[in-house]
Amino acid sequence: MRIRPSGIVLAASAAIALAGTQLGMTTSTAAAASPLPSHTAARAARAPAVPPDYVPLRSAKRIRFDLVFTNMDYNGGPVMPSNTDYMVLWSPKGLSAYPAGYVSGLKTFFMDLAHDSGGHQNVDSVSAQYQDSTGTFARYKTTFGGALADTDPYPASQCPAAKPVKACLTDPQIQAELEHFVAAHHLKTDLGHEYFLLAPPHVEDCFSNKPHASPPYGGCSAGEPFILAKFCAYHEPVADAVLRR
């Protein structure tokens, strides 16, 4: 079970990690953001030195995650006492780029999650046992905000984009776009709102643009070549400065 971090949260899925496998999405409930000049250069400087935790591929070598504690580690950050979930579908070609049933399927998932809010029907109810240093609990209090279409063009790929990959986005590029989209639509960036950015098949992502990093490019989504593919999904909060807005 995860303790939800704060503010804008990035979510990635295998082969599309914020872009890429067979993620589909739903109907748009907000106008798409207008194209904006590239604004990711400055953002790159804020990229974390250590990639956020991610779920490894099933084929990855198993390692013992925690050699000291048997309970979930707490590193002092805030938890989300409630969450309104949004699906952000980043596709310059619109929702037609997603596989049939993907958008409606994920929308149903989020709606069901909200329907069961406060209950014990799924694993999200387990979060209610966790609290932060202020005494705030991560309660299962969920609302679905809707599916939003983002038709901004993708920035130039800074990580491998050989066929069948159509575009490769770095984590700083993804964060920059999500910040822009949320601001353009006057959406909230606080401890009660969570944004899942999803892209169509063959749009992959990596944590950095550094080929000589260890692992290369900081690790990439499952649709990249096997030597680069390190995860099926990940989530992380954006910079603290954004969370304090």
For residue 185, what are its two tokens? 């639509």
The reported pTM is: 0.71
Whole-Å CA distances, 181 to 10, 59, 177 = 13, 35, 6
Torsion of CA 170, 86, 33, 151, to 10 degrees: 60
Q: Are the C-beta atoms of 150 and 30 separated by less than 8 Å?
A: no
Residue 3 to residue 182: CA distance in whole angstroms: 23
Residue range 214-224, pLDDT digits in tens: 999 999 999 99
- Give start and end residues of each alpha helix (H) in the chain: 41-44, 102-115, 171-184, 240-243
For the cut 90, the answer to whether the pLDDT of residue 245 exceeds it is no
- Please state the φ and ψ torsions of residue 198, each to the nearest 5 degrees: -130, 135
Residue range 175-196, pLDDT digits in tens: 999 999 999 999 998 889 999 9
